[in-house]
């Protein structure tokens, strides 16, 4: 009996020693795996194949450039999806992402291989993305350009990621009129026109039309855009500006950054953000510093306060209806802010009217001159693709909004009035029907309960009138035997059952 505590102590120490030993072994194994993962290849040759590692939580490198600043690999998205991406390794910022026909899964069945083309495939859906080339190797340059090359004397490039940008433009990367930068949420894009740079929003995912919210025209201070002399292109210059060119080395427009012509500013990039702004950054060696913004006032962004939001300069966000508390851009229900009002269910909406509102980019929207607000409203009401109007009583301009309502600009001029359609929630009618059914069932239960109580009371009165013997005589002369207390308990049991 005295040895029992000693045995328990010995067993406890043994378990602790084993646990510590396993922990050390696990740490060593994990370190060696990490060290192996960083020793990625600097070229991919024909026959290369890779699948995502289920133990990797963020990024699995497959290929690196000669400096180790950039890596091509599997980027884990929303835990279950996979993107093939070029990442700035020190900051983990993606510079380029492949654009497959549908998202790939983070699964061992998903495969990336090189057979002359760099390919993403899944066994059930087939090829999701491909460079569609006949190259000899995949190479990543020290400027983050992913290339498919021929191994000839000049190592000619037959495909490059710089020709297919995602949301980012880097130094000395030509951005032409055939390209577009698209934000990671797919809502905003940057494109070039004949003599301007434009930012566009796709507020209605069911439509192919985009709404311009910024148009920066070439200032043509040192050179002019000449019609017929070719399209313009953009170039992010290492001296800290976004230059617009047509022919030659003289820019037709310069958008200067805060670090303009400051030496040693580090790697530069421009990205279209999920809020629709175009921003420029430079790398200090440890962090990215904001260096440029195409839109400096948040109220001029296309949807800074969300759908049915109101942005007032210097005051922030509120809701158009002036009743709903603003909560992280949720003045309206996103699930109801889509499509149009055409079709059998198109007329299910209510009207929201307010004044002191304007459109933040109305100079880029079409308008009609009308004699009154009522006429402007009726024009929208008759158009099933119209979501609302903003009308100026002073100018008579009627701006029709043919996409789900976004953020409006709050102004002091009360003569600027708004009329907006608000789609009724698809679940509202169901809730109303359910509420009615519930009320009906409750009323029915109350009636059943009342009936049971009434029946029990009449039965009790009848027995009491017959007498205290507890026996009741029927018309036929027969006798129904039953103690009074049992009848009472059974009657109340029926009442209890009806309550349940």
Listed in sequence order, the residues at least 6 apart from 74 whose beta carbon sits closer than 8 Å to its beta carbon are: 50, 52, 56, 59, 60, 62, 82, 83, 84, 85, 106, 112
Upper half-sphere CA count for residue 339 (Cβ side, 13 Å)? 12
User: What pLDDT does residue 324 have?
Assistant: 80
pTM of the model: 0.76
Across 287-296, 375-384, 438-447, 488-497, least confident range? 488-497
Confidence of residue 265 (pLDDT cuts 50, 70, 90): low
Residue 475 has pLDDT above 80, yes or no: no
Q: Which long-range contacts does 264-269 make (Cβ < 8 Å, 24+ apart)?
A: 265/240, 265/291, 267/69, 267/88, 267/170, 267/171, 268/170, 268/171, 268/236, 268/238, 268/240, 269/93, 269/95, 269/168, 269/169, 269/170, 269/171, 269/236
Question: Residues 24-72: pLDDT tens digits?
Answer: 333 333 323 333 334 679 999 999 999 999 999 999 999 999 999 999 9
Instruction: Check residue 161 and give its pLDDT.
Output: 98
The Cα 405–Cα 276 span in angstroms is: 16
pLDDT in tens, 281-331: 999 999 999 999 999 999 999 999 999 999 999 999 999 998 887 876 578
> In the prediction, which pLDDT does 26 show?
34
How much is the average pLDDT of 115-137? 96
* Predicted pLDDT at 247: 87
Specify the pLDDT at position 33: 30
Question: Is the per-residue pLDDT at 269 higher than 60?
Answer: yes
Q: In a 3-state reduction of DSSP, which class is residue 393?
A: coil
The answer to whether residue 434 scores a pLDDT higher than 50 is: no
Least confidently predicted of 172-181, 396-405, 465-474: 465-474
219 against 466, higher pLDDT: 219
Q: What is the CA radius of gyration of the chain?
A: 36
Residue 430 phi/psi, 5° resolution?
Answer: -65, -40
The DSSP-derived string for 17-32 is HHHHHHHHHHHHHHHH
Give residue 396's Cα distance to chain centre: 37
More confident residue, 280 or 500: 280
Name the percent of the chain lying above pLDDT 70. 76
At 497, the pLDDT band (50, 70, 90 cuts) reads: very low
The pLDDT of residue 445 is above 90: no
pLDDT value, residue 442: 45
Q: Which of 102, 92, 88 is nearest to 57 (CA)?
A: 92
pLDDT value at residue 345:
65
**Average pLDDT over the chain, rounded to an integer:** 82
Quick one: average pLDDT of 228-247? 95
CA 363 → CA 176, 208, 213, 301, 358, distances in Å? 25, 21, 9, 14, 11
Phi, psi of 61 (to 5 degrees): -75, 140
The pLDDT, as a whole number, for residue 337 is 81
Higher-pLDDT residue of 365 and 333 is 365
Residue 235 has pLDDT above 90, yes or no: yes
Q: C-alpha angle 224/230/234, rounded to 5°?
A: 70
Of the listed ranges 69-83, 145-159, 261-275, 437-451, the one predicted with least confidence: 437-451
Distance CA 378, CA 400 (A): 11
User: How far apart, in whole angstroms, are the C-alpha atoms of residue 500 and residue 488?
Assistant: 19
pLDDT of residue 181: 98
Higher-scoring residue by pLDDT: 361, 336: 361
């Amino acid at each position: 009996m005295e040895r029992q505590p000693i045995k328990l102590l010995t067993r406890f120490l043994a378990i602790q020693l084993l646990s510590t030993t396993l922990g050390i072994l696990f740490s060593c194994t994990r370190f060696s795996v990490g060290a192996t993962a960083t020793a990625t290849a600097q070229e991919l040759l024909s026959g290369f194949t890779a699948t995502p590692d289920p133990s990797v939580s963020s990024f699995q490198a497959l290929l690196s450039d000669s400096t180790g600043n950039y890596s091509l690999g599997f980027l884990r998205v929303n835990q279950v999806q996979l993107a093939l991406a070029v990442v700035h390794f020190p900051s983990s910022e993606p510079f380029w992402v492949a654009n497959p026909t549908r998202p790939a899964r983070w699964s061992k069945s998903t495969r990336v291989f090189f057979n002359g083309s760099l390919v993403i495939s899944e066994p059930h859906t087939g090829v999701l993305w491909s460079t569609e080339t006949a190259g000899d190797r995949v190479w990543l340059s020290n400027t983050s350009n992913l290339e498919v090359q021929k191994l000839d004397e000049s190592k000619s490039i037959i495909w490059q990621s710089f020709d297919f940008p995602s949301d980012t433009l880097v130094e000395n990367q030509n951005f032409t009129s055939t390209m577009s930068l698209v934000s990671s949420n797919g809502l905003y894009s940057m494109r070039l026109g004949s003599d301007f740079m434009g930012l566009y929003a796709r507020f209605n995912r069911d439509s192919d039309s985009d709404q311009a919210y910024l148009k920066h025209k070439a200032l043509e201070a040192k050179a002019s855009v000449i019609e017929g002399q070719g399209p313009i292109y953009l170039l992010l210059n290492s001296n800290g500006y976004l230059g617009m060119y047509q022919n030659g080395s003289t820019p037709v427009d310069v958008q200067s950054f805060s670090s303009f012509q400051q030496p040693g500013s580090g790697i530069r990039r421009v990205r279209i953000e999920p809020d629709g702004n175009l921003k420029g950054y430079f790398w200090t060696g440890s962090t990215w510093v904001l260096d440029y913004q195409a839109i400096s006032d948040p109220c001029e962004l296309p949807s800074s306060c969300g759908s049915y939001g109101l942005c007032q300069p210097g005051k922030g966000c509120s809701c158009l209806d002036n009743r709903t508390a603003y909560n992280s851009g949720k003045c309206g229900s996103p699930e109801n802010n889509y499509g149009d009002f055409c079709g059998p269910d198109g007329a299910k909406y209510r009207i929201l009217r307010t004044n002191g509102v304007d459109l933040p980019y109305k100079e880029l929207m079409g308008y009609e001159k009308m004699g009154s607000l009522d006429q402007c409203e009726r024009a929208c009401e008759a158009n099933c693709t119209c979501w609302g109007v903003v009308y100026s009583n002073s100018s008579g301009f009627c701006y029709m909004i043919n996409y789900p309502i976004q953020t409006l600009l709050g102004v002091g001029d009360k003569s600027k009035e708004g009329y907006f359609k608000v789609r009724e929630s698809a679940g509202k009618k169901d809730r109303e029907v359910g509420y009615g059914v519930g009320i009906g069932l409750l009323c029915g239960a109350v009636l059943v309960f009342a009936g049971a109580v009434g029946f029990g009371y009449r039965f009790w009165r009848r027995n009491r009138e017959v007498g205290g013997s507890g026996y009741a005589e029927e018309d036929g002369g027969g006798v129904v035997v039953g103690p009074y207390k049992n009848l009472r308990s059974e009657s109340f049991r029926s009442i209890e059952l009806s309550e349940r």
